[in-house]
Amino acid sequence: MKIALTASVCVTSGACTPNPLILIEDGIIVKLGRRSELEIPGGFELREFPDAVIAPGFVDIHIHGGAGHDVMEADEAALGLIERHLAKTGVTTYLPTTVTAPLDTTLRALERLATAVETAAQSTEGTLRARPAGIHLEGPFISHQKRGVHPPEHIQPPSIELFDRMWQAARGQIKLMTVAPEVPGAIELVEEAVRRGVCVSIGHSNAESETALRAIRAGARHATHTFNAMRAFDHREPGIIGAVLSSAHTYAEIIADGIHVAPAALSMFLRCKGVDRAVLVTDAMSATGMPDGTYQLGSFAVEVKDGVALSEGKLAGSVLTLDAAVRNVMAFTGWELHDALPLVTRNPAAVVGLNCGKLEPGSPADLVVLSPTGNVLRTVSRGAGLN
């Protein structure tokens, strides 16, 4: 199928192209430029979005589920339902994220997720769904003091041997791993994971600032849901938050739902990390896109009411979608849409070294068509969605 796509503006790689023309052939972008400078070849069908914004498909590197399903569950249909739900919110690439669970449960989940990642990488079929591009291992190498809702009985001390078992189960598909750097053995684990090409994210941590900086020097380059499940900031001991916000080369993610982090804290975070190092994530759980009720996060139950997900009185993930996170950044901070878009495209892809989050000739036609206020009008996954 050959499609010519036009809109009011295209935002990619931090640049805005007015009145763009994107030529898509068999799910691949073949040309992109200003409409005034390109001709539409014969045989191409024109799809026009005159008042819309075209951007790369969104990338969510921290998500546990949606549409009533969890990424760790054994139901083979679960991921497909989650992925179709994600596509409706503009997401075309994601990292299914584990939560601390019994070891055998985690290993089986890693095996299933690795198969899903490998299948997605090998498939050339254009279907309207997000594609898993790796695994985010959140837990079990975290702090008991800042575990959040992760079950304490399944938290493990940092261990290269145990990490290797997980690495083998995942067949090398672990792209991102959350580690608490203050726990004995953590720095050695950071160094080994980095050696294997894993992006290490510091989080679920009670670390003081010097310990967090030591992990960064060892190769950690990201922070998990900044402010949440972290030692509180203090002006004499700024802790992990101070280390992350003051590190010029460290990426950091944040849950911009107005529940996990107050708008003023979000604004401060964005001022510190800027348009090049800030990342929006959802930390979404199975209840996302569903009515209030009781849902699963990994192996435990979470009660969702009025948009708040709680387990034993603690926040347990979210029901946020990435398009809503973009709109919240605009509403809470006054950022323009073109400033917020890199936080869900270019930046998360850069965190884990994915070749996505951008639009250029030769890349898959993974893109989202948005209203000027950030509402999703159309999601396109490898060309699917333009029929």
pLDDT at residue 14, rounded to an integer: 82
Residues 154 and 263 placed together within one structural domain of the fold: yes
| Cβ-contact 128, 89 below 8 angstroms | no
* CATH number assigned to the domain comprising residue 314: 3.20.20.140
- Expressed in angstroms, the distance from the first to the final Cα of the chain is 9
Q: What is the mean pLDDT of residues 30-37?
A: 94
Is residue 88 pLDDT above 90, yes or no? Answer: yes
Q: What is the pLDDT of residues 151-188, one digit of tens each?
A: 999 999 999 999 999 999 999 999 999 999 999 999 99
Do residues 50 and 68 share a domain? no
Burial of residue 102 (number of CB atoms within 10 Å: 0-12, 13-18, 19+)? middle
Say how far residue 330 (Cα) sits from the centre of its chain. Answer: 19
What CATH number does residue 29 fall under?
2.30.40.10
- Classify strands 131-132 and 135-138 as parallel, antiparallel or unpaired: unpaired
One domain for residues 246 and 369: no
Specify whether 235 is located in the same domain as 311: yes
Q: Count CB neighbours of 92 within 10 A.
A: 31
Same domain, 38 and 62: no
Verify that 97 and 122 share a domain, yes or no.
Answer: yes
Measured CA to CA, the distance from residue 285 to residue 224 in angstroms comes to 16
Helices 186-195, 160-169: inter-axial angle, 10-degree rounding:
40
- As a whole number of angstroms, the distance between CA 346 and CA 279 comes to 9
Widest CA span in the chain: 67
- At position 180, the amino acid (one-letter code) is A
Rg (CA), the chain: 20
What is the pLDDT confidence band of residue 304, given thresholds at 50, 70 and 90? very high
Q: What is the tally of structural domains in the chain?
A: 2
Examine the domain organization and report whether 374 and 248 are in the same domain: no
Q: φ and ψ at 269, to 5 degrees?
A: -55, -45
**Can you give the residue range of the structural domain that contains 47?**
1-56+357-387
CA distance 321 to 237: 34
Residues 40 and 186 in one domain: no
User: Which residues are tagged catalytic?
Assistant: 283
Percent of the chain at pLDDT > 90 equals: 95
Query: In this predicted structure, what is the pLDDT of residue 125?
Result: 72
pLDDT tens readout for residues 185-243:
999 999 999 999 999 999 999 999 999 999 999 999 999 999 999 999 999 999 999 99
- Asked whether 59 and 348 are in contact (CB, 8 A), the reply is yes
Q: What is the DSSP track for 28-67?
A: EEEEEEEGGG----TTPEEEEEEEEEEEEPEEEEEE-EET
Q: With beta carbons less than 8 A apart as the criterion, state whether 230 and 240 touch.
A: yes
Angstrom distance (rounded) from CA 21 to CA 192? 45
Confirm whether pTM is higher than 0.75.
Answer: yes
Instruction: Answer yes or no: do 264 and 333 share one domain.
Output: yes
CB 10, CB 54: distance < 8 Å: yes
**Domain identity same for 260 and 283:** yes
For residues 189 and 50, membership in a common domain is answered with no
What would the pLDDT profile of 319-362 be if each residue is shown by its tens digit?
A: 999 999 999 999 999 999 999 999 999 999 999 999 999 999 99
Bridge partner residues of 22 (DSSP): 5, 32
Same domain (yes/no): 115, 161: yes
Bridge-based pairing state of the strands 199-202 and 174-179 = parallel
pLDDT tens for 97-151 read 999 999 999 999 999 999 999 999 988 777 899 999 999 999 999 999 999 999 9
Q: pLDDT category, 280, cuts 50, 70, 90?
A: very high
What is d(CA 255, CA 302) in angstroms, rounded to the nearest whole number? 18
